[in-house]
Amino acid sequence: MVDSRQEHIKLGTYPPEQVYQVLQTSPQGLSSQEVKERQATYGPNQLKESKKEPIWLTFFRHFTSLMALLLWGGGFIAMLSHSLELGIAIWLVNIINGLFSFIQEYRASQATAALNKLLPSYARVLRDGKEDKILAQDLVPGDLVFIEEGDRISADGRLVAVTDLQVNQSALTGESNPIYKSDQADLTPDKTELEYDNMVFAGTTVSSGSGHFIVSAIGMKTEFGQIADLTQNLAQEKSPLQKELDHLTKQISVIAVSVGLFFMVAATLFVHQPLSQAFIFALGMIVAFIPEGLLPTVTLSLAMAVQRMAKDHALVKKLSSVETLGATSVICSDKTGTLTQNAMTVNHLWTLSDSYEVTGLGYASEGQIEQEGRPISLEDNELLNRLVRFSHLASNAQVVAPSADNPNFTILGDPTEACLNVLAEKAGINLNDNHTWAPRLKEIPFDSDRKRMTTVHKLELGLDGSQHISITKGAPKEVMELCSDYYDNQGMIKSLTATERQAILAANDQFARDGLRVLAVAYRPLDSEHIGEDKWDMQTLEDNMVFLGLVAMSDPPRQGVREAIEKCHRASIRIIMVTGDYGLTALSIAKKIGIVQGDDARVVSGLELADMDDNQLKEALKGEIVFARVAPEQKYRVVNALQELGEVVAVTGDGVNDAPALKKADIGVAMG
């Protein structure tokens, strides 16, 4: 079986037949006897919950801080010195303060969800050659599991069969674009486990398609479990305010006792007071030093800040976190959904004749196609009309508008394709009418090796002398290689020469440098000899295509982000982007929103970070830096290094992958 992380990664390099051997199973699944043996060996497929602090201990903790103990002692001393009312008053202040702090923290803790809720309850498996629906907790390594659109995956595993399978891994990576999955061996060197397209992971969701995989890890051995383990095993550290109060309490205690002893000795030796009266006098001096109003004042101030933050929909789990937030010197921020809107948006359209801008942000259809600020109509531009229409026809995604139950746009499918639908709507195209105009007859799905997808459509009114066309969209270099011609702005089909090819690559490279994701779109009119299901093979449909243009898109920054970053810089707070996205995209966004201000910023990938020792990392953190393609444990390591450099670190994030760093940080800001 697979017992180490390195062996687990190797599964991605094996062909499906060898995976069965390595995981000691078969295409018929495990037998009932094998399941029992493995359940005894590996236990249930569950995340182990860390021991939660009992509610009585949480309650007790609020009355046993050093400052609280000082007040208990002060009240007791006041009673001994015949100041019963003062002693009771001090104790009441302590009790009210402790109750208030406990109630505030308890309310916030009720709003947090357990990681186990992100794992499904049931799974479909093949055992003894028969399909069965079982509890997800009963899965064992070697089980053959079926998955389809909408399923949440129950365990880590290696895919052995797929049909147009896309998986949303944002729970682990923080990046929302679904990953196209494959069942083929991947021999690419230096890949992390999450980068293998033939692996699936617990807690992720099937966006579309179907497949089946062999379970390779369950429970705490999964990627999801590793994150949970890292999160649960972190020790709870005191906030800067708590440390300062503890230090102040010790100082006050030492000074109060010293002064009390001094005056007791002085009263006895020089004033000749009886020892009992001198002792009472000393107790009074000690009580006078106790700041009985400090703790409730601090608590009330923090509570008022918590209430103000709550009005802005910010839930504060611990009162002391408010002060820590004010002491922050470095913010480590995720990109997708935190700094950006997590809504892919088409920004530019490019053809060999012209380039265009597209206004509007997110999935709302408000916006238009412009050229130098002038609105462009598709009726006057057949090249642009085909580029926009064909982009939509080759899209499988759907955009569900906000409703009373869900105030946000919901994307069914790939967000990259969803923004093509929005582009068509901005151009004035009715999506249903477009499908009616050119109904789809066949699809060759996107493949991560081919980097493109192709569809076949029938046009009753015809196009370029044909009633059938194939449309291909995908990576610009790959699509361009399929093209022999291009469509120009005069409605003419011309030969695609080396000059035009160089222009296409140059435009693509410029978009990439700007951090944009780029798709190329091409089509082919199918003549009568190429009509028929039996003739629609890949070679025929993707041969001698006509190049239309490029569609460039991005996940735009959230509104107000740049202004917020400028305020942080003015307050001498440094911001570091730590993301699972690609380096070029991350650096472009960092420059656009002002995180990176110079030209010598360093981009460190997860693989580079793995090769750095702690001293090298600390040295790198002294300059402008962006971390890209990093794993959850690496985010944790970055936070730890910053803390060792003396920084007060805040971490913002919105995914399970951010949980270890969020908890390790001096202040964790969970978005969403």
pLDDT higher than 70, residue 396: yes
- Out of 127-131, 272-276, 542-546, pick the least confident: 272-276
- Percentage of the chain beyond pLDDT 90 is 42
pLDDT tens track for 429-474: 999 999 999 999 998 888 777 889 999 999 988 888 888 999 999 9
Residue 370 neighbours by CB distance under 10 Å? 13
Provide the domain count of the chain. 4
Q: What is the pLDDT of residues 559-590, one digit of tens each?
A: 889 999 999 999 999 999 998 777 888 888 89
CB atoms within 10 A of CB 387: 25
Two tokens, residue 543: 């041969």
CATH number at residue 432: 3.40.1110.10
Given a cut of 60, whether residue 281 has pLDDT beyond it is yes
Higher pLDDT, 45 or 299: 45
Domain boundary among 232, 250, 278: 232
- Give the confidence band of 113 by pLDDT, cuts at 50, 70, 90: very low
The pLDDT of residue 508 is 93
Domain boundary at 522, 554, 586, which? 554
> Which of 1-15, 332-346, 562-576 has the least mean pLDDT?
1-15
Cβ pair 16, 161 in contact under 8 A: yes
- Rounded to whole angstroms, the Cα distance separating 584 from 549 reads 23
Burial pattern 631-666, b for ≥16 Cβ within 10 A else e, equals bbebbbbbbbbbbeeebbbbbbbbbbbbbbbbbbbb
Tell whether the torsion through CA atoms of 288, 291, 293 and 295 is positive or negative.
negative
pLDDT averaged over every residue in the chain: 85
Distance CA(560)–CA(136), nearest Å, equals 43
Q: How many CB atoms lie under 10 A from the CB of residue 343? A: 23
pLDDT greater than 70 at residue 238: no
Do 497 and 528 share a structural domain?
Answer: yes
* The pLDDT of residue 411: 82
- 334 assigned to active site: yes
Residue 9 burial by Cβ neighbours in a 10 Å radius (0-12, 13-18, 19+): middle
Q: How far apart are CA 529 and CA 328, in angstroms?
A: 69
Pair 534, 463 in one domain = yes
Any domain includes 313: no
The reply to whether 420 falls in a domain is: yes
**Nearest one of 297, 267, 293 to 279, comparing CA atoms:** 267
Position 111 scores a pLDDT of 41
| Domain co-membership, 666 together with 591 | yes
Q: Are residues 526 and 449 in the same domain?
A: yes
Mean pLDDT value across residues 402-416: 82
Residues 87 and 125 in one domain: no
Secondary structure (DSSP) of 183-250: -S----SS--GGG-TTEE-TT-EEEEEEEEEEEEE-GGGSHHHHHHHHHHTPPPPPPHHHHHHHHHHH
- On whether residue 314 sits in a domain, the answer given is no
Same domain, 367 and 451: yes
Residue 86 lies in a domain: yes
| In-domain check, residue 319 | no
| Under 8 Å between Cβ of 143 and 348 | no
Neighbours of 671 (CB within 10 A): 15
CATH for 18: 2.70.150.10
pLDDT value, residue 313: 64
pLDDT tens-digit profile of 182-198? Answer: 898 888 777 777 788 89
In a domain, 280, yes or no: yes
Catalytic residue among 143, 151, 334, 666: 334
Q: Which of 178-187, 392-401, 545-554, 604-613 has the lowest mean pLDDT?
A: 178-187
Joined tokens for residue 384: 């642009």
The answer on pLDDT for 476 being more than 80 is yes
Where helices occur in 123-186 by DSSP H, the ranges are 170-173
Q: What confidence score (pLDDT) does residue 579 get?
A: 86
pLDDT for 257 equals: 81
* Rounded distance between C-alpha atoms, residue 272 and residue 47, angstroms: 70
What integer pLDDT is reported at residue 444 of this predicted model? 87
Using CA atoms, how far apart are residues 394 and 269, in angstroms rounded to an integer? Answer: 99
Q: Which domain holds residue 426?
A: 345-554
- pLDDT tier for residue 653 given thresholds of 50, 70 and 90: confident
Please give the Cα distance from 216 to 538 (Å, whole number): 34
Which of the residue ranges 45-54, 84-93, 252-261, 580-589 would you say has the lowest mean pLDDT?
45-54
Looking at per-residue confidence, does 126 or 297 come out higher?
A: 126
pLDDT per residue over 135-151, tens digit each?
999 999 999 999 998 89
75 and 220 part of one domain: no
Q: What integer is the mean pLDDT of 68-97?
A: 79
Q: CATH number for the domain including 332?
A: 3.40.50.1000
Q: Given this model, what pLDDT does residue 145 score? A: 96
* Per-range mean pLDDT, top range of 75-84, 289-298, 410-419: 410-419
Considering the domain architecture, whether residues 448 and 374 belong to the same structural domain is answered as yes
Q: Is residue 602 part of a domain?
A: yes
Q: How far apart are CA 312 and CA 45, in angstroms?
A: 39
CA distance 183 to 652: 35
Side-chain half-sphere CA neighbours of 655 within 13 A: 27
The verdict on 406 and 481 lying in the same domain is: yes
Q: Answer whether residue 316 is part of any domain.
A: no
The predicted-structure confidence for 45-55, as pLDDT tens digits, reads as follows 988 766 666 77
Comparing 57-66, 393-402, 521-530, 547-556, which segment has the lowest mean pLDDT?
57-66
